[in-house]
Structure 1
Amino acid sequence: MRILLIEDEEPAAAQLRRFLQQYQSAATIVAECQQVSEAVAYLRQYPAPDLILSDIELLDGNVFALFGQVQVTSPIIFITAYDSFLVQAFEQNGIGYVLKPVQYTQFAAALQKYERLRQSLQGAALQQLAAHLAPAPRYKARLVSKTRAGIYLLEVADLAYFQLRNGVTHAVSEQGKAFVLNETLSQLEAVLNPALYFRLNRTEIVQLRVVERFEPYFNDTLVLHLKAPLSGTLTSSSHRTPELRKWLHG
């Protein structure tokens, strides 16, 4: 923990040093300033500390003048003999307000609050980073159909729908040609882009762009009319229709 100490009274500064060592021996005071001008010079020249411990009334004025001269990004625990600056303190990066004479229990409680906030922010940042770095799902770009005549390599983007016929999975191209697949519909559902393909029922998965229009049917089902040169229709099951409506609206 890198700490900037802003305090113009040596006995108070010495006490804070002792309290810091008692609380966390690894804490490092990177600089000590007795005046606002010294704090401004330090923050302009060096990286922001993890935490600032600051008195309010200093040798050259009120510490809040600091915020008008330099951008302060570090959290601050204010340590002062005055209770009249409480609102202003928490408007300016304040996370703690400890009154003099300082008691160790109050000082430690303020540092514990800082550490809880830091851990919370780090956790949120790590979650965001993990989400950003997580590999995008990889969907199948092509499938293989093995027949007696040979092996066909099928581009998934050219397939209009998948259908279970007599217990065998078929992929149907946009020209209406059917190809036998080894995968089950559930296996296909897991590797097809859900933004493009939708599982209509137990036996069919359709690609959105081959649908010409939708027509309400009985028991809250939808009939899908396919674009030419395809012929025929597909029908959603009633329990899938609500999800299909959401899918259609993006």
Structure 2
Amino acid sequence: MRLLLIEDEEPAADQLRLFVHQYSPAAQIVGECQQVSEAAAYLRQHPAPDLILSDIELLDGNVFSLFEQVAVTSPIIFITAYDSFLVQAFEQNGVGYVLKPVQYAQFAAAMQKYERLRQSFQGALLQQLTQAYATPAPRYKQRLVSKSRAGLYLLDVAEVAYIQLRNGVAHALDGKGRAFVLNETLSQLEAQLNPAAFFRLNRTEIVQLSAIQRLEPYFNDTLVVHLKGQAITLTSSSHRTPQLRKWLTD
């Protein structure tokens, strides 16, 4: 925890240093100021501290004038002999208000309040960031619908060996070679099927990874795709072959 101490009375500053160390030996007072002008200069030149411990009436005026000189983003525990600034304090980054003479129990209670607020804000911020940047998992088709005179047939995507364009109409073919007419275009199907499982070989064919038995080189940097349990072969277009090789090894 990095703290900035704003206090113009040395005995009070000594006491706060002692209380800070007693509360958290790991806490570090990164700066000490006795005047508003010093505090403004410090905040302009250094990263914002995690917390500010500040008196209100200082050598060169009221600490609330600090907010007119520089943007103060750190929370503040105000430590003062006056109780008349309470409302103003909580309008200006105040998370605690401790009256002098300061007792350690009061100081510790204010520090605990600050830590509770910090944890709450960090948790809320983390949740907001997670929600803002979380990318919903894409939902891919789990089944295809084929229409025929007999009605509708539901084909599980896992059963599809490949999809082929025949006379301008997409057909899904299973491992037994049975063909099912689909309503979607090949481009629509390419977008709707999981790219980890399906690959578009060319303008007319999409193949499922689990249906591939082996591949063999063909001319002009194309590949012949042999399917499991089927005599038919498919062929990748030359411009898709590099992507096919990468897809197979991902």
TM normalised by structure 1 equals: 0.59
The answer on 1:102 being equivalent to 2:38 is yes
1:165, 1:133 → 2: CA distance? Answer: 40
Deviation of the 1:239 alpha carbon:
0.7
Q: State the AA in 2 paired with 1:10.
A: E
Deviation of the 1:151 alpha carbon:
1.2
Structure 2: segments with no counterpart, 5+ residues: 51-72, 74-121
Counterpart for residue 215 of structure 1: 216
1:206, 1:103 → 2: CA distance? Answer: 68
Where 2:215 maps in the other structure, the secondary structure is strand
Counterpart for residue 172 of structure 1: 173
Counterpart for residue 196 of structure 2: 195
Counterpart for residue 185 of structure 2: 184
Answer whether contact 1:6 1:39 (CA < 8 A) is retained. Answer: no
Deviation of the 1:33 alpha carbon:
6.0
Cα deviation, 1:117-140, whole Å, max 9, x if unaligned, reads: xxxx99x96796247743211000
The answer on 1:42 being equivalent to 2:23 is yes
Tell me the matched-pair count: 177
Deviation of the 1:7 alpha carbon:
6.6
Q: 1:105 to 1:181 in 2, by over 3 A?
A: same
Deviation of the 1:148 alpha carbon:
1.1
1:138, 1:149 → 2: CA distance? Answer: 29
The answer on 1:246 being equivalent to 2:246 is yes
Deviation of the 1:3 alpha carbon:
8.3
- Percent of residue pairs identical: 54
Deviation of the 1:4 alpha carbon:
4.7
Where 2:45 maps in the other structure, the secondary structure is helix
1:12, 1:107 → 2: CA distance? Answer: 24
Q: 1:80 to 1:5 in 2, by over 3 A?
A: closer
Larger radius of gyration between Structure 1 and Structure 2 = 2
Counterpart for residue 141 of structure 1: 142
TM normalised by structure 2 equals: 0.59
Cα deviation, 1:27-71, whole Å, max 9, x if unaligned, reads: xxxxx96235x224434xxxxxxxxxxxxxxxxxxxxxx33xxxx
Answer whether contact 1:161 1:205 (CA < 8 A) is retained. Answer: yes
Cα deviation, 1:161-218, whole Å, max 9, x if unaligned, reads: 1000111100001111001101001000111011100011110000011111010111
C-alpha RMSD of matched pairs (Å): 3.7
